[in-house]
A and B are shown apart, each in its own frame.
Chain A
Amino acid sequence: MVVHCEEVWREISNYLEGDVDPALRSAMDDHIHGCGRCRSVLEGTRNVIELYGDERMSEVPLGYSSRLRLRLEENMQSSRRNFFGWIVAAATAILFAGSFELARSTGSAYPALRSQMAKRGSGVPPEMLVVVSDRGKEFHQASCPFIHDKVNLRTIPAQEAMKEGYTPCVRCMKEYLSA
């Protein structure tokens, strides 16, 4: 199978998503290897996805969280009907705060994540070998095209990666991020 530049450009998004069949991927790999233009398109597109996907690109205005919380609290206060309801809520909040501290203290169950926006995975095989880098936030399959800092990689079991606060890569580990 032989592909030309136009086909590579048309499929470059799917290629990076891992959403092309093996024969096409192989043909694209061969073409890209020998084509500077397509390498430029591939690398540029990969950079776009990586840079915009970083949580620093989703900044919120200063005070956004506080204002949101205040608005929600105001809304809830207006809907509270009696003093008993308030007492129940306060008691719940105290219990919640205590339990939250407890949850934080059980480091193995809830390690601090390296990314504020990341989601914990579910169903990740604990012994599966994954790849992490010291400056990264996610763990990857070794073949993932979205691994940054490739010179400082470590291969460790998924369980260990999660204990260190790494979360599944949103591209190559997306099956573990489903509800």
Chain B
Amino acid sequence: MPQDLASLDTPAEQFTEEALIRRIRDGEHDLFYELVRPYERRVYAAALAILRNPADAEDAAQESMLKALKHIRQFRADARFSTWLIQITVNEARMKRRREQTRAMDPIADHQDEEGNYVPRDFADWREVPLETLERKEVRQKLAESMHALGEKYREVFVLRDMQHLSIEETAKALGISHASVKTRLLRARLMLRDMLAPGLGGRWSSKLSFEKGTKPW
């Protein structure tokens, strides 16, 4: 039977994640959107990182949410709900990619040896880039293009860790890889993005971007 709101002491207690999960498990499915609302962007971003197509990502995000609702009783209270939800999303997106065989050849370094050191290519002076530059759509677009140009295994780790702020452990769990692999791939992803966004790079990756040679997009 659904727990009576009056039996909880404060509004804060009524809407903690734990309380919401308990009430949804007890049958109050209407509360599910409130539970997942803080994570709806994360779910979409995780799906987009794998599928790289907005329509497919939205579809996978919706399917993931429905699966989470359906299997909410399987959620273990000792885990973070967000990690569990992202894990479902990663699995759903990977299955969708396999089913539809939409996976294009990854353009960058997907088969590179992770053991070798990555050597940065550009050493131009950088200064702090103001976050206000993100107000410009073309800047966001360039950053997104660069991120999507990463090989899949680097992109997945980068999106979960640096864009969705999962911990190293949570990222490893969501992707089913080791802690060490997360750290190695993260380092490479960050350095590759740095190189792609650095000015005047004449390497094979920069040719995929439309940055003017010698200029940054900000």
Task: Please tell me which one of the listed residues B69, B80, B126, B135 contacts residue A44 in the complex, with CB atoms under 8 A apart.
Answer: B126
Q: Is the CB of A65 within 8 A of B134?
A: no
A-chain residues with CB within 8 Å of residue B81 when the two chains form the complex: 179
A132-155 toward B: CB 8 Å interface, digit per residue (1/0)? 000100000000000011100000
Nearest CB of chain B from residue A167's CB, rounded to whole Å: 11
Nearest CB of chain A from residue B158's CB, rounded to whole Å: 7
CB within 8 Å of B: which residues of A?
6, 9-10, 12-14, 17, 36-37, 39-41, 43-61, 64-65, 67-69, 71-73, 75-76, 79, 88-89, 92-93, 95-96, 99-100, 102-103, 106, 109-110, 116-117, 119, 135, 148-150, 170, 174, 178-179
Q: Is the CB of B40 within 8 A of A102?
A: no
B-chain residues with CB within 8 Å of residue A12 when the two chains form the complex: 187, 190-191
The size class of the interface chain B forms with chain A is 35 or more
* B 132-163 contacts with A by CB, 8 A: 132-135, 140, 143-144, 147, 158, 162-163
Task: Please tell me which one of the listed residues B5, B69, B123, B135 contacts residue A40 in the complex, with CB atoms under 8 A apart.
Answer: B123
B-chain residues with CB within 8 Å of residue A116 when the two chains form the complex: 41
Q: Is the CB of B167 within 8 A of A48?
A: no
CB within 8 Å of A: which residues of B?
2, 5, 10-12, 14-15, 28-34, 37-38, 40-42, 44-45, 54, 58, 61-62, 65-66, 69, 79-81, 117-120, 122-135, 140, 143-144, 147, 158, 162-165, 167-168, 183, 186-187, 190-191, 193-194, 197-198
A-chain residues with CB within 8 Å of residue B165 when the two chains form the complex: 53, 170
Closest to B165 in A: A170
Nearest CB of chain B from residue A97's CB, rounded to whole Å: 11
